[in-house]
Amino acid sequence: MKKIYVGNLPWQAGTGELASLFTPFGEVADSFIVSDRETGRSRGFGFVEMDDDAATEAISSLDGTEYEGRALRVNEANERGDRGGNRRQPVRFDVMVLGAGAAGLVAAREARAAGAGRVLCLEKMPKPGLKILVSGGGHCNLTTTLRPQEAEPLFGKEGGRFLRKALRTTPPRVIREWMHERGVETVEEEYEKVWPKSKRAQDVLDVLLARLHDSGAVLRTSAPVEAIRSPDPTLPHWSVLVGGEWLTTQKLVLALGGCSYPGMGTVGDGYRWLSDLGLQVNEPLPALAGLSSDAAWVKELAGLTLYDVELQLREESGKIVRRRARPLLFTHKGVSGPGPMDLSRDFEREPVRFRNLHVDLLPAHEESELKALLFRGSSQPASILQKRLSLPKRLVRVLIERVDIMGIQGAQVPRPLRQLLIQELKGLCIPIRGSLGFARAEVTTGGVALVQVDPATMEVHGHPGLYLAGELLDVDGPIGGFSFWIAFSTAVLAGRSAAAATKA
Ligand SMILES: Cc1cc2nc3c(=O)[nH]c(=O)nc-3n(C[C@H](O)[C@H](O)[C@H](O)COP(=O)(O)OP(=O)(O)OC[C@H]3O[C@@H](n4cnc5c(N)ncnc54)[C@H](O)[C@@H]3O)c2cc1C
């Protein structure tokens, strides 16, 4: 792979335009524009990466050719990636966005579309948007059908209030329009979920990338940022250390994600840098993860899914403090599926308060109704549970063994055991050890404390020019497209506010 320097470009040239000059010679692996108006140069320059053979041919064919009234300069870049021997110009951007996940891709696009001149988005991984690709089992549940006011309570009191402006500025209708305008239709399915009709997460990512490229914002991948530096009297701009070089920018948007799925690039860099700046970062913990249980009977049920159940979190007094009517799946490690995953944040945040997950196996039936059905005549409760109440056979066997009424007719079940069976049916108690951790968590709960961020602009109080978006913030919701909604909607505000501030 060779890196090629291209000089004498019009300063407003975009990466797409630069890449298209080279595509006749072979596939362009990466292209990057640096158009520094403020150095007084009327022309810009950029870099292209491609196979050695294609690069050699492109250099000899393009060098000296006329492009918009001036002769292009095309030669091999030196090891540092600049044009060899020439004095390096200080590189200045209007807006830099760190992280090219759901939030970063949108923030960079919005900043550029809102008029910021030079927008650069840096991503450490070789490809952008990796989590989008794996989301929803590769299908990407990109948003919800709920309206902002319906969804707000799902983010908790503080989170809902913080997101109010963001959710209203970018409601699901707008996110679906982004897709529709680029030919990706979306469909609504159960639990208020919205998916691309194709069920291909790649289609969603392609739309976000196309919108980014068309805006003229530049994306650089394989560019791990090592540090950030806040403005000081000697340098009144934000600086970002990447590839051993400090790049400066007027406005900086951090969209670095949280700590979940660390193999996808998210290892908490943003939290570290922001704490170093003196910001309060609430302990990041795994959320939307499966739960582990040591109970042997739970593991015996591995592979079984219960659809019409209500999961409950109870205090020691028995008071129910949280309910979630979503499916539960028994696994070899414990329980998973949307219901347990939605409640996993509570087990992580309050491990002493919550040690058990309770499951109402028959939420549509009152206790009195069940007693009348189960404990009369010669039928055995096991048979009624299976045939009349449609509980799965494997589950019924476990319940009957736990209550110890195998082979007993309904009317013969002793009174204390009747109560025990009803308790199991209306609040099966699953002991929980904890969540399966960051390696298996879809999101992070915790992060940058919201009081430090302006909810109208996503700018950090006391740090002018610094904006945050996405999972980095201490706000998270349940399964159902809400995490992307948080990422997209906070990114729209951050990108637009950063752009507006460059012109102030
Ligand atoms: C398996 C799985 C399935 C999911 N399914 C869904 C779903 O169906 N619906 C839904 O709404 N949500 C889903 N989510 C959650 C959703 O993917 C995230 O909440 C969302 O991607 C967060 O967006 P973000 O841009 O804030 O962070 P991320 O998408 O995590 O992006 C952060 C980016 O920053 C980059 N980065 C980090 N450090 C650096 C650095 N030092 N330098 C440069 N770049 C850096 C990372 O590589 C990453 O690309 C799922 C998550 C997972 C893991």
pLDDT beyond 80 at 408: yes
Q: How far apart are CA 33 and CA 16, in angstroms?
A: 10
Domain limit, last residue, from 412, 435, 458: 435
Q: Residue 52 is part of a domain; what is its CATH number?
A: 3.30.70.330
d(CA 271, ligand 1 centre) in Å: 14
SS3 content of the chain, % helix, strand, coil (to 5): 40, 25, 35
Q: Whose CA is nearest to atom 6 of ligand 1?
A: 135
The atom number, within ligand 1, closest to the CA of 125 reads 47
132 alpha carbon – ligand 1 mean position (Å)? 7
User: Is the domain of 270 the same as that of 179?
Assistant: yes
Domain presence at residue 487: yes
Percent of the chain residues past pLDDT 90, beyond the cut: 80
CB under 8 Å, gap of 24 or more: what pairs does 416-420 form?
418/371, 418/374, 418/375
* Closest C-alpha residue for ligand 1 atom 27: 257
- Mean pLDDT over residues 176-197, rounded? 97
The pLDDT value given to residue 83: 40
Q: What is the pLDDT of residue 34?
A: 67
Judge if 168 and 203 occupy the same domain. Answer: yes
Tokens of 209: 């990338």
DSSP conformation letters of 432-487: --EE--GGG-SEEEEEE-GGGB-TTT-BBTTSTTEEE-GGGBS----TTTHHHHHH
Give the Å distance between the CA of 131 and the centre of ligand 1: 5
Q: Is residue 156 within a helix (H) or strand (E), and if so which, with residue range?
A: helix 156-169
Q: Cβ < 6 Å from ligand 1: which residues?
A: 98-104, 122-125, 130-131, 134-136, 140-141, 224-225, 255-257, 260-261, 265-266, 269, 442-443, 470-471, 481-484, 487
Give the atom of ligand 1 at the shortest distance from the alpha carbon of 226.
41
Domain range for 343: 291-435
Secondary structure element (H or E) that encloses residue 1, with its range? none
CATH number, domain containing residue 257: 3.50.50.60
Q: What is the pLDDT of residues 77-88, one digit of tens each?
A: 764 444 433 333
Query: Hey, whose CA ends up nearest to atom 10 of ligand 1?
Result: 481
Task: Identify whether 492 is part of a domain.
Answer: yes
Looking from the CA of residue 122, the nearest atom of ligand 1 is 43
Residues 102, 251, single domain; the answer is yes
Residue 67 pLDDT > 90:
no
Q: What is the position in ligand 1's atom list of the atom closest to the CA of 470?
A: 26
Q: How far is the CA of 136 from the centre of ligand 1 (A)?
A: 13
Distance from C-alpha of 178 to C-alpha of 185, rounded to nearest angstrom: 10
- The Cα–Cα gap between 341 and 40 comes to 55
Asked if pLDDT for residue 133 goes beyond 90, the answer is: yes
pLDDT tops 90 at residue 39: no
Same domain, 362 and 248: no
CA of 450 to the centre of ligand 1 (A): 19
- Interval between CA 283 and ligand 1 midpoint (Å): 18
Query: Quick check: helix, strand or coil at residue 13?
Result: coil
Q: Rounded mean pLDDT of 259-268?
A: 94
Tell me which of 60-64, 154-158, 313-317, 403-407 is least confident: 60-64
SS3 390: coil
Range of weakest confidence among 128-137, 241-250, 307-316, 410-419: 241-250
Quote the ligand 1 centre to 125 CA distance (angstroms).
12
Distance 144 CA to ligand 1 centre (A): 18
Cα 303 to chain centroid distance, Å, stands at 27
Q: Are residues 281 and 295 in the same domain?
A: no
Looking at residue 313, what is its pLDDT? Answer: 97
Residues 6+ away with beta carbon under 8 Å from 444: 257, 258, 259, 260, 284, 285, 286, 287, 438, 471, 476
pLDDT at residue 348, rounded to an integer? 96
- Assess whether 200 and 263 both reside in one domain: yes
Collect all residues with Cβ–Cβ distance below 8 Å to 380 and sequence separation of at least 6. 407, 408, 409, 410
Q: Which of 109, 484, 489 to mutate to test the pocket of ligand 1 (most atoms within 8 A of CB)?
A: 484
Tokens found for residue 15: 């990466």
Same domain, 476 and 361: no
Length reported for the chain: 504
253 & 159 share domain: yes
Comparing 48-52, 116-120, 230-234, which segment has the lowest mean pLDDT?
230-234
CA 138 – ligand 1 centroid, Å? 14
- Would residue 166 count as lying in a domain? yes
pLDDT given for residue 43 in this prediction: 64
Q: Which of 394, 411, 435 is the last residue of a domain?
A: 435
The Cα–Cα gap between 212 and 106 comes to 7
pLDDT band at 285 (very low <50, low <70, confident <90, very high): very high
| 40 pLDDT more than 70 | no
Distance 442 CA to ligand 1 centre (A): 9
Q: How many domains does the chain have?
A: 3
Closest ligand 1 atom to the C-alpha of 441?
A: 53
Give mean pLDDT, residues 283-298. 97
By alpha-carbon position, which residue is closest to atom 23 of ligand 1? 102
- Count the helices and strands in the chain (H runs, E runs): 16, 27
- Give the pLDDT mean for 406-431: 95
* Sequence-separated contacts (24+) of 160-167 with Cβ below 8 Å: 161/455, 162/450, 162/453, 162/455, 162/473, 162/475, 163/455, 163/475, 163/486, 163/489, 163/490, 164/455, 165/455, 165/456, 165/493, 166/455, 166/458, 166/486, 166/489, 166/490, 166/492, 166/493, 167/485, 167/489
Q: Count CB neighbours of 90 within 10 A.
A: 12
Residue whose CB lies within 8 A of the most ligand 1 atoms, among 256, 260, 436, 445, for a mutation test:
256
Tell whether 81 is covered by a domain.
Answer: no
Residue 418 pLDDT greater than 80, yes or no = yes
Q: Is residue 451 part of a domain?
A: yes
Share of the chain above pLDDT 70, in %: 95
Q: Is 84 within a domain?
A: no
Q: What is the pLDDT of residue 90?
A: 52
**What is the atom index within ligand 1 of the atom nearest the CA of 103?**
25
Question: pLDDT-derived band of residue 325, with 50, 70 and 90 as boundaries?
Answer: very high
- pLDDT of 499 higher than 60: yes
- pTM for the whole structure: 0.83
Q: Is 40 in the same domain as 172?
A: no
Residues 254 and 119 in one domain: yes
Domain finish residue from 48, 76, 104: 76
Q: Which residue's alpha carbon is nearest to atom 30 within ligand 1?
A: 257
Q: Which atom of ligand 1 is nearest to the CA of 257?
A: 27
- Whether 337 is covered by a domain: the verdict is yes
Q: Classify residue 83: in a domain, yes or no.
A: no
Distance 444 CA to ligand 1 centre (A): 10
The yes-or-no verdict on residue 59 having pLDDT over 70 is yes
Residue 10 has pLDDT above 90, yes or no: no
Going by pLDDT thresholds of 50, 70 and 90, the confidence category of residue 184 is: very high
Q: Are residues 441 and 419 in the same domain?
A: no
176-209 as b/e: b if 16+ CB within 10 A: bebbeeeebebeeeebbbbbbeeebbebbbbbbb
Q: What is the mean pLDDT of the chain?
A: 92
pLDDT of residue 240: 94
Residue with CA closest to ligand 1 atom 29:
101
Quick one: DSSP state of residue 217? Answer: -
Token couple for 62: 């393009």
Count of Cβ atoms closer than 10 Å to residue 274 Cβ: 24
pLDDT at 367 exceeding the cut of 60: yes
304 and 223 together in one domain: no
Is residue 37 pLDDT above 50, yes or no?
A: no
- Tell me the average pLDDT across 263-277: 94
